[in-house]
Amino acid sequence: MTSKLLLGIGVLAAIVGLTGAVTPGTAAFARPEPAAAKADEAGETVDQLIFANGRVVEGKLISETATQVVFEVRKPRMPAVKTTYEKSEIIEIKRGVAKAASATPATAATPAAPASTMSDESSDKEKKPKREERADAYRIYLVNFKGDFGTDVSETPIGRIFDDADRVFNDLKTVDTPTGKMQVVKDEHRKQNIVLIKIDARTDPRRGFDGIWRTEQLDQRIVKEIFEKGRRVVFWVKDAEGGAAFLPFLSSEIYFTKDGYLGGFGTLDNFDIGDKMVNEKQISLRLGHAEGFAVKGGYGQLGCAIIRAMARKQNWLAVRKSGAGYEFIEREPKEEDGPGWIVLTDDGEGPNKDEKALDGNDVLNLNQEWAQKLGVSKGTADTFDDLVYAMGIDRNYVLLEAKEHGVKGEQIMRDWSRSVEQAESEIRQRPQPGRLWEEYRDVRMPSDLVGMQKAIGRQINILMQIRDRMVRFAEVFDREGQGKAQIDVMIERHKNDLAKVTRALREGGQASPGGGGNSGGGGRPGGGLR
């Protein structure tokens, strides 16, 4: 038989193991310069750069040419950073915007919030006087993406979260476009109304880099929200691993917790399908998809280089301070490159190979320090109050809550997780059969025809219940629908048995159904859960 020549990824589903993915040793890195912009922040106006992707940067315009803008970026409690931007990325430069109208806090000297954690937040809130909600207040819809990415966090709850946010914010308008009507966030609410996603989630580590495919399946609503509807979405990264690590890149606003971690997908070098050229093709196309996240979120060429260094052990990434930002090269720095290079990741070969998985630099994983230095993170905050401060919101915000504002976010996530867990306990096949499979197995086939009819009916019923769970949670358990198809065939077989028994009953004769349950032959589908 001749084999068909293929060009693509459709037939490949290689599972790549997680390597010793590590965070670069922080001891080797220089810390940022002490804050120099503090005094400047006392000024009453700021300049603003408004980017095509919706990002707004505040600070002082230093100079501009026909193609570039040199800008001193100022953030609360952060050193001023001089950065050069391409004008092609900027849609508007606003000069001398009053600070009150900007997102910058009134003063940089506002004391930091108490060091409570998010889990302590309810008690933290109780201690504070209740803020009065101002008309211009920022309204923040906080939701936790916690657990298994693709299971606890999947399409259905994400869709419900954003539906709920639309309901609570009530800030949409319908616009006509050349392709039809669509709903978008009203201009005056785009900055104020924020969906804040705290992420502490990971894809199955066995999927390694290929967790990205799950992310591409479930990110579609978030892409639509940010890029079509104009919803402001901010990510707060505690732990985003494997495929989950790509998701925050969709937003131009990422913050880290102090122990924040983003990475764990540096497994591409393990890809092996038996042919170097095909391996490289598969790696190349995967990187193409991954870099797309960085481009989409506005992280530019450096963002793409960061993704490459995070994905593949053999990729170098060295950075050097350049003006306000960092320049980078993706190879080992040479003498002619000059001094000051910091190697974030080497090729992991020979003497560069790391002995320990967790303290080397064979692949890049981002901690809060380097995420911020490289411009991936906008700031670091462990508590909600610290976070809003870092976002430049100061005190003029309302954290939307379940009781007061009818926010259902946490309930949606919790209910979904519980339902999935419940369904799994009923229909899983390994390591122990779930409750429904146990019940199916325990159906006894009596010798009388009426009893047989009932028993087969019971078997069909149980299979229908399993099928129902598979359909309801298809995005988690049965994405391609193979399990459901197998159940359908089993049901068909039982229906044949039932027809025989019914016929025999009608004719007053004997029948022996061919399959099902303990009478043998019914079997369980080969595929299915875990």
Partner 1 sequence: MNPLRSLVRAAVLFLALAAAAWSASAADKLKLKDGRVLEGVVVREVDGGVFFRVKVGSIESQQFYAKADIAEIVRDKAAEGAAPAAPAGGTTPAPASPNSTETGTPIPDGAIGVTFVSLEEMVGPYMNARALLDSVELLKQKLPKEQRPKVLVLVFESGGGALLEVEPLSNAIHEKLKKDFRVVAWIRSAISAAAMTAMNCEEIYMMSEGNIGGAVAYSMVGPGQAKAADGANLEGILKMGQMLADRGKHPREIILSMQTLEPLSANIDDDGHVSFFNSETEGKYLINRKGYNLTFNALDAVKYKLAEGIADTKDQLMTRLGYKEWVEVGQFVDKDQIRFRQAVKTISARVQELYSKMNLAVGEAQSASSREDREKQVGRARNFLRELRELARQAPSVEKYGAGGSPPLTREFFDRMDRDLRRILNPDAR
Minimum CB distance to partner 1, residue 426 (Å): 13
Minimum CB distance to partner 1, residue 414 (Å): 17
Among 115, 285, 357, 402, binds partner 1 (CB under 8 A): 285
Q: Can you say how many angstroms the Cα of residue 92 is from the centroid of all Cα atoms in its chain?
A: 30
Distances (CA, A) of 331 to 190, 309, 323, 325, 479: 41, 10, 21, 19, 40
Minimum CB distance to partner 1, residue 427 (Å): 13
Give the contact letters, 491-520, x = binds to partner 1 (CB under 8 A), - = no.
Answer: -xx-xx-xx-xxx-----------------
Q: Which of 173, 355, 189, 363 is nearest to 267 (CA)?
A: 363
- Residue ranges of E strands in 264-358: 317-322, 325-329, 342-345
Element spanning 335, H or E:
none
Residues forming beta bridges with residue 90, ordered by sequence position: 51
336 is a contact residue toward partner 1 (CB under 8 A): no
Radius of gyration of the chain measured on its C-alpha atoms: 28
* Residue with Cβ nearer partner 1 (402 or 499): 499
Cis-peptide, bond into residue 431, ω within 30° of zero = yes
Site for partner 1, residues 177 to 196, rule: CB under 8 A? 177-182
480 is a contact residue toward partner 1 (CB under 8 A): yes
* Residue with Cβ nearer partner 1 (103 or 455): 455
Q: Which of 358, 147, 357, 125 is nearest to 238 (CA)?
A: 147
412 is a contact residue toward partner 1 (CB under 8 A): no
Six-digit token pair at 214?
């799950």
Six-digit token pair at 9?
């990824």
Q: Segment near partner 1 (CB under 8 A), from 32-40, 373-381, 406-414, 447-455?
A: 447-455
Phi, psi angles (nearest 5°) of residue 494: -65, -35
Six-digit token pair at 202?
């990971």
Among 291, 362, 382, 385, binds partner 1 (CB under 8 A): 291
Q: Segment near partner 1 (CB under 8 A), from 16-24, 420-428, 435-443, 448-456?
A: 448-456
Cis-peptide, bond into residue 351, ω within 30° of zero = no
* Residue with Cβ nearer partner 1 (378 or 467): 467
* Residue with Cβ nearer partner 1 (347 or 401): 347
6 is a contact residue toward partner 1 (CB under 8 A): yes
* Residue with Cβ nearer partner 1 (44 or 448): 448
> Coil, helix or strand for 432?
coil
460 is a contact residue toward partner 1 (CB under 8 A): yes
**Sign of dihedral through CA atoms 158, 163, 165, 171?**
positive
Total residues binding partner 1 (CB under 8 A) = 76
Q: Segment near partner 1 (CB under 8 A), from 103-111, 153-161, 257-265, 299-307?
A: 299-307
219 contacts 247 by C-beta, under 8 angstroms: yes
* Residue with Cβ nearer partner 1 (95 or 331): 331
Among 17, 32, 288, 521, binds partner 1 (CB under 8 A): 288
